[in-house]
C-alpha cells in the first residue's frame, strides 16, 4: 500500500515542548474523561492527553477532548463587560463595578415594579458544581425569583422527571462498569459512538471480554445501530408503545420477576391492566416494529441474568419523554434489573456538568436534591443559609421552555442567561428572537461575546472558560471529578462564581448570607450540607478527587470508595421505600407527515461538534471536519425529487425554512431527513417543540418538513453568511 514509494515515512509527533501537565476533566460531554493539559515553558496550554489511571477513560480521549487546549484562545472570546441601553445600539466596554451595579439596579427596578418573579434566570450544564451551588444560593436566597431554570430542560429534564416518578428521586442508578456484567443491552435513541465515544469504547471493551446482545432502538440507522446485533427502526415518538408491548409479552409469558415486583414495587395491578392492551400485533401497527421482533426482544431481555437499558435524547426529546423514561424503568423493575451489576436504567447525560446542575443548582428545588415542596427541606436550607424559610417559593416555578412564552405575555421583563444560547438551541427560533426583543433588560453571561443570543443583550458579562478556574463536574455515572486551574482567565473575563458572589454583595439580603471567595470553600459548605442525604459527598474534597481521578457519590465521611450503584438494597426514595410501576397509555399528539409536509425531520449530534458550536465552531480541526449543516436524505427520495449529492436544498416547515446541503445515505428511511442540531439558523428555524407535560422538555425530533429546490449560488452565499463568526 505504499503506492510506488519504497520506504514508509515514519509518523512524526510534533514536539510541543510541554514542561508541565495539569490534571483536569473534559469540559464537553458528560462522559467525564480525566485529562491533562500540557503547558509550554511560557505557561501556554499547547496539548491535551488522557489520563491512563482514570477509570472512566483509561487514557483515551475523543477528537473534541484532544483539541480542547485550543479553547483558551479561540476567537470571539469576551474581553470586557459590555453595556448598551438598547439592544440595537452598539456596545461600550465598561468596568466590572459598573456592570454589576447596573445589573443589580435593573433587577431591583424590575422586581420592585412587577414582582420578584418578573426577573428570570436561565443557566447551563457548563459551569462548575460549586458555581451552580453559589448561583442557586443567589437566586433562591437573595433574588427570590421562582422563574429559574437551566438549559438542561432541553436535554435531560425527562430523565429527571422519569427517575423521580419511578424511584422517588433523581440520580442515575447505574454506571459504565455495568457493561462488564450485563448479558443484554438495549439502547433507546442514543447514538453512542458519535455522542459519547469514550462510553462507547467502554462498551466495546466489555463486549470483547464477554459477548452479549446489543439492541438499538432508533428511527435512523445510526453508527450505533450499524454496530448492533438487533436494530429496531421505530416510528418517531412511539417508544412508549414498544415499551408497553415488551412488558405485555413479559407478563403474558410469565417471564417477570414476581419476587422483586412484590417486594420492591407498587402499582402492579394497574400496570398489568394497562399493558394487557398493548399486544404485539396492535403495537406493531403504531410503532412500526414487527410483532415477532417485539416478542423476541422481550424474551431476550427478560430471560438473561442481568439486562440494562441506556438512553439519550431519542427518548427525552419527545412529548412523552418522561413516560418513555418511566417505561424503561418499568421494564427494568418487572425484570428485577435495578441496582445490580449489569442490571440498570442508565440515562446518558449531555453536557459536562448537566448532573452538577441537577444536584446542586437549586433550579428545580433546593440544593442536594431537596424540594421546595418539602417543609423539612426548606427549613434545613434556610437555617443553613441563615434566612427565613418563607422567603422560598412554595413550589417550583417556570421552566426554561415556559419562561420564553412568559416574556411574550409580559410576565417576565428581565432575563439573565448564563452560558446558554437559546437563539440556536430552542425550538421555533423566530419566536425566541421576538421574545428576546421584548425584554426590558437582558444579561448574557458567556465565554464568547459573539454567542448569537448576545445580539439582544443590554449587558454582556465575559465568563472564564472551563480550566481557567477550579472546581468539579459530575458525570453520567455520578462521578464527581476535579478541574484544576490550568491558566488564568482570558483578558478581563471572570470565573462565574466570582460574578455571582460580587452580584450578591449588591443586595441587602446578599450581605447577610455568607458567599465564599474560593471554590474549595464552597465545596466544603456543600459537603457539610450533603451529610446524611442520598447525595452524600461528605467524604470528598478537591485533593482526594484528583488522587482518585473522580469518585461516585454517595461517598460519606470515612468511606474508602465511591458507590457505583444506587438502590442495591431495593429501597427507593418514596416514603414506603417502594418503586412505582406506572400505567401509561400512549396518546398520539405529535406533528406527523402529511401531503404538504411529507418528511419526518429528525435531529442529533455529530462527533466533531458540541451543542451550539460556540466552542467547537471556533476550533480549526473540529470545524474543518464538519463545517456546514447538511441533511441526510434517502437516495430513493432524492431521486424522486431530482436532488443530487451535495446539492443545496431549502427545507420548509410550518414555522420557517432552512438551507442545507443534501447527503444521500441509507441511514435514513425514505420518509425521513436528519440534520445535525449544532448549527445556528438551521434546524431550529423548523422545529415546533411541543412540550412533555412533566418535564416541559421540547419534542425536537417529531416535526415535519417539505423539501424545495433553491438557487445554488444564493444558497452557498447564505450558508457562508450564517456560519461566519
Residues in contact with ligand SF4 by CB under 6 A are 26, 28-29, 31-33, 57, 61-62, 64-65, 196-198
Q: Give the nearest distance from C-beta 64 to ligand SF4 in angstroms.
A: 4
Residue nearest to ligand SF4 (CB): 65
Q: DSSP H helical segments within 91-167, as ranges?
A: 96-114, 129-138, 157-167
Q: Which residues pair with 646 in a beta bridge?
A: none
Least distance (Å) between residue 32 CB and ligand SF4: 6
Closer to ligand SF4 by CB, 395 or 625: give it: 625
Q: How far is CA 450 from CA 175, 454, 456, 615, in A?
A: 37, 7, 11, 11
Nearer to ligand SF4, 222 or 454 (CB): 222
Q: How far is the CB of 604 from ligand SF4 (least distance, A)?
A: 15
Instruction: Quickly list H helices, 335-446.
Output: 354-360, 375-385, 400-408, 422-425, 429-438
Looking at the Cβ atoms of 22 and 506, the one nearer to ligand SF4 is 22
Compute the least distance from the CB of residue 475 to ligand SF4, in Å: 8
Rounded CA-CA distance 216/225 in Å is: 5
Min CB(331)–ligand SF4 separation in Å: 27
Q: What does the angle CA 528 – CA 554 – CA 385 come to, to the nearest 5 degrees?
A: 25
Q: Which among 266, 46, 287 has a CA at the least distance from the CA of 165?
A: 266
Residue 725 Cβ, how far from ligand SF4 at the closest point, in Å? 21
Best CA proximity match to 190, nearest among 228, 162, 241, 246:
228
Hey, CA dihedral for 196, 201, 202, 206, is it positive or negative? positive
The angle formed by the CA atoms of residues 316, 322 and 323, to the nearest 5 degrees, is 120
Min separation Cβ 454 and ligand SF4, Å: 25
CB nearer ligand SF4, residue 31 or residue 719: 31
Distance CA 388, CA 179 (A): 47
CB nearer ligand SF4, residue 438 or residue 484: 484
- Distance in Å, CB of 202 to ligand SF4, minimum: 10
Instruction: Find the shortest distance in angstroms from Cβ 469 to ligand SF4.
Output: 18
Instruction: Choose between 494 and 615: whose C-beta lies nearer to ligand SF4.
Output: 615
The Cα angle at residue 464 between residues 351 and 679, in degrees rounded to 5: 45
Start-to-end CA distance of the chain, whole Å, equals 41
Nearest residue to 139 via CA among 442, 393, 519, 409: 393
Q: Are 257 and 334 in contact (CB under 8 A)?
A: yes
* Cα separation, 58 vs 561, whole angstroms: 18
Nearer to ligand SF4, 616 or 719 (CB): 616
DSSP secondary structure letters along 562-618 = --S-S-TTS--SSTTS-EEP--------S----SSS-EEEEEE--TT--TTSTTGGG
| Alpha-carbon span 29 to 199, nearest angstrom | 11
Q: Count CB neighbours of 470 within 10 A.
A: 20
Closer CB to ligand SF4, residue 466 or residue 490?
466
Q: Is 47 in a helix, a strand, or coil?
A: strand
Query: Cα(144)–Cα(147) distance, rounded to whole angstroms?
Result: 9
In angstroms, what is the minimal distance from the CB of 68 to ligand SF4? 7
Of 28 and 224, which CB lies nearer to ligand SF4 in the complex structure? Answer: 28
Q: Residue 85 burial (CB < 10 Å; 0-12/13-18/19+)? A: exposed
Based on CB atoms, which residue is closest to ligand SF4, 369 or 610?
610
CB count in 10 Å sphere of residue 362: 24
Least distance from ligand SF4 to the Cβ atom of residue 69, Å: 12
Pick the closer one to ligand SF4 by CB: 348 or 699: 348
Q: At closest approach, how far in Å is the CB of 549 from ligand SF4?
A: 13
Closest CA to 352 of 31, 691, 723: 31
Q: From the CB of 610, what's the least distance to ligand SF4, in Å?
A: 7
Residue 29 or 675 having the CB closest to ligand SF4: 29
Nearer to ligand SF4, 198 or 372 (CB): 198
Amino acid at each position: 500500500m505504499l503506492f510506488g514509494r519504497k520506504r514508509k515515512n515514519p509518523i512524526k509527533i510534533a514536539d510541543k515542548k510541554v514542561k508541565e501537565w495539569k490534571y483536569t476533566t473534559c469540559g464537553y460531554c458528560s462522559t467525564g474523561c480525566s485529562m491533562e493539559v500540557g503547558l509550554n515553558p511560557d505557561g501556554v496550554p499547547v496539548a491535551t492527553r488522557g489520563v491512563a489511571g482514570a477509570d472512566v477513560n483509561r487514557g483515551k480521549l475523543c477528537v473534541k477532548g484532544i483539541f480542547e487546549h485550543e479553547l483558551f484562545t479561540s476567537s470571539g472570546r469576551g474581553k470586557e463587560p459590555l453595556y448598551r441601553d438598547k439592544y440595537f445600539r452598539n456596545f461600550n466596554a465598561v468596568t466590572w463595578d459598573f456592570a454589576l451595579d447596573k445589573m443589580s439596579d435593573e433587577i431591583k427596578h424590575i422586581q420592585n415594579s412587577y414582582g420578584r418573579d418578573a426577573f428570570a434566570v436561565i443557566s447551563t450544564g457548563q459551569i462548575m458544581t460549586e458555581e451552580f451551588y453559589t448561583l442557586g444560593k443567589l437566586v433562591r436566597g437573595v433574588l427570590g425569583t421562582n422563574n429559574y431554570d437551566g438549559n438542561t430542560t432541553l436535554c435531560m429534564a425527562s430523565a429527571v422527571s422519569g427517575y423521580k416518578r419511578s424511584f422517588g428521586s433523581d440520580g442515575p442508578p447505574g454506571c459504565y462498569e455495568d457493561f462488564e456484567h450485563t448479558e443484554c443491552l438495549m439502547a433507546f435513541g442514543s447514538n453512542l459512538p458519535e455522542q459519547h465515544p469514550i462510553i462507547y469504547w467502554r462498551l466495546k471493551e466489555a463486549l470483547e471480554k464477554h459477548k452479549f446482545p446489543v439492541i438499538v432502538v432508533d428511527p435512523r440507522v445510526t453508527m450505533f445501530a450499524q454496530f448492533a446485533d438487533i436494530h429496531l427502526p421505530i416510528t418517531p415518538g412511539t417508544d412508549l408503545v414498544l415499551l408497553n408491548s415488551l412488558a405485555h409479552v413479559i407478563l403474558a409469558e410469565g417471564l417477570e420477576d414476581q419476587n422483586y415486583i412484590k417486594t420492591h414495587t407498587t402499582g402492579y395491578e394497574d400496570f398489568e391492566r394497562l399493558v394487557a392492551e398493548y399486544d404485539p400485533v396492535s403495537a406493531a401497527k403504531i410503532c412500526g416494529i414487527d410483532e415477532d421482533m417485539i416478542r423476541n426482544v422481550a424474551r431476550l431481555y427478560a430471560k438473561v441474568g442481568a439486562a440494562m437499558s441506556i438512553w439519550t435524547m431519542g427518548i427525552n426529546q419527545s412529548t412523552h419523554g418522561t413516560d418513555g423514561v418511566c417505561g424503561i424503568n418499568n421494564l427494568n423493575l418487572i425484570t428485577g434489573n435495578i441496582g445490580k451489576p449489569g442490571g440498570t436504567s442508565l440515562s446518558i447525560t449531555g453536557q459536562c456538568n448537566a448532573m452538577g446542575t441537577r444536584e446542586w443548582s437549586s433550579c428545580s428545588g433546593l440544593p442536594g436534591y431537596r424540594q421546595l415542596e418539602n417543609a423539612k427541606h426548606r427549613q434545613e436550607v434556610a437555617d443553613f443559609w441563615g434566612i427565613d424559610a418563607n422567603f422560598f417559593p412554595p413550589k417550583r416555578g417556570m421552566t426554561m421552555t415556559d419562561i420564553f412564552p412568559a416574556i411574550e405575555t409580559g410576565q417576565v421583563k428581565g432575563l439573565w442567561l448564563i452560558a446558554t444560547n437559546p437563539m440556536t438551541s430552542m425550538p421555533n427560533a423566530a419566536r425566541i428572537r421576538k421574545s428576546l426583543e421584548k425584554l426590558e433588560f437582558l444579561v448574557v453571561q458567556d465565554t464568547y461575546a459573539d454567542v448569537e443570543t448576545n445580539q439582544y443583550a443590554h449587558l454582556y458579562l465575559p465568563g472564564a472558560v472551563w480550566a481557567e478556574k477550579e472546581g468539579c463536574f459530575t458525570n453520567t455515572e455520578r462521578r464527581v471529578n476535579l478541574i484544576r486551574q490550568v491558566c488564568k482567565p482570558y483578558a478581563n473575563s471572570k470565573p462565574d462564581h466570582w460574578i455571582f458572589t460580587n452580584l450578591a454583595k449588591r443586595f441587602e439580603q446578599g450581605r447577610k448570607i455568607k458567599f465564599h471567595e474560593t471554590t474549595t470553600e464552597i465545596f466544603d459548605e456543600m459537603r457539610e450540607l450533603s451529610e446524611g442525604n442520598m447525595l452524600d459527598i461528605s467524604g470528598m474534597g478537591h485533593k482526594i478527587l484528583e488522587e482518585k481521578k473522580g469518585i461516585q457519590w454517595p461517598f460519606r465521611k470515612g468511606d474508602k470508595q465511591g458507590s457505583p450503584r444506587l438502590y442495591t438494597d431495593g429501597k427507593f426514595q418514596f416514603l414506603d421505600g417502594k418503586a412505582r410501576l406506572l400505567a401509561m397509555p400512549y396518546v398520539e399528539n405529535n406533528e406527523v407527515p402529511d401531503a404538504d409536509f411529507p418528511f419526518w425531520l429528525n435531529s442529533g449530534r455529530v462527533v466533531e461538534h458540541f451543542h451550539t458550536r460556540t466552542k467547537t465552531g471556533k476550533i480549526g480541526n473540529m470545524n474543518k471536519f464538519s463545517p456546514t449543516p447538511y441533511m441526510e436524505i434517502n437516495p430513493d427520495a432524492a431521486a424522486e425529487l431530482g436532488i443530487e449529492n451535495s446539492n443545496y436544498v431549502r427545507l420548509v416547515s410550518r414555522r420557517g425554512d432552512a438551507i442545507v446541503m443534501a447527503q444521500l445515505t441509507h441511514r435514513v428511511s425514505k420518509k425521513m431527513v436528519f440534520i445535525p442540531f449544532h448549527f445556528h439558523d438551521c434546524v431550529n428555524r423548523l422545529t415546533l417543540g411541543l412540550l412533555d407535560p412533566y418535564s416541559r422538555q421540547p419534542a425536537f425530533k417529531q416535526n415535519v418538513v417539505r423539501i424545495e429546490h433553491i438557487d445554488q449560488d444564493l444558497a452557498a452565499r447564505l450558508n457562508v453568511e450564517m456560519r461566519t463568526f
